[in-house]
Amino acid sequence: MSPHVCTVVSCGATKQDLAPGESVPARELYDSSVHTCKDRYGRHSDGYYIMSAEYGLVHNQTELAHYDRTLDDLSDHRTRAWGHDVARDLATILECGGFDAVVLIGSATYVGALEAHFDRFPCAVLTPWQTSEYVTGVGRGMAWCNDESHWPDNVESVAAIGDVVSPAPREV
């Protein structure tokens, strides 16, 4: 039986050009090849969310309008506040959903903003783009996301996805 996994991916810098007032599901807003790979991975999870610099933590089907903000645009104080808010919302989702693990896929900036809060999450935390020896850059991160052997619906244990950062996984 596959573990119950929630995937959270970072937003993307490049987005669809939308008309004023137009919105699309979050997973469709970002149009880079990097996001396409992260999206492919996320769609194979039991829960799939996006951490947006503008909107915080959003479900992949939440309608979003175009925006132009990254965490790099925020002060250290605002980034810490963003990380606190996203971690709070994610902890609630993970608890209510009974997830065995959360896989965080994104840059060191986005994942790093949540790191101080990993102990709030009631399940195993995996950060493959930061901890996998294979992932040495964005290209390898994309390859990791495209490798079906890592997809949550194709594994039999949390450990088969990657290295658990915090805490120990629940038995499945």
Q: Is the pLDDT of residue 165 over 80?
A: yes
| Residue 152 resides in a domain | yes
Written in H, E and C, the secondary structure of 100-150 is CEEEEECCHHHHHHHHCCHHHCCCEEECHHHHCCCCCCHHHHHHHHHCHHH
Residue 1 has a pLDDT of: 80
| Residue 172 resides in a domain | no
Predicted confidence band of residue 170 (pLDDT cuts 50, 70, 90): very low
| Residue 150 resides in a domain | yes
| Residue 104 resides in a domain | yes
Domain tally, the chain: 1
| Residue 132 resides in a domain | yes
pTM summary value: 0.93
Tokens of 139: 């290209």
Q: Which of 106, 111, 109, 134 is nearest to 121 (CA)?
A: 111
| Residue 39 resides in a domain | yes
Domain with residue 104: its CATH number is 3.40.50
Distance CA(115)–CA(118), nearest Å, equals 5
Predicted confidence band of residue 167 (pLDDT cuts 50, 70, 90): low
| Residue 171 resides in a domain | no
Decide: 113 and 71 in contact? Cβ < 8 Å: yes
Q: What is the DSSP letter of 168?
A: P
Domain span at residue 142? 5-166
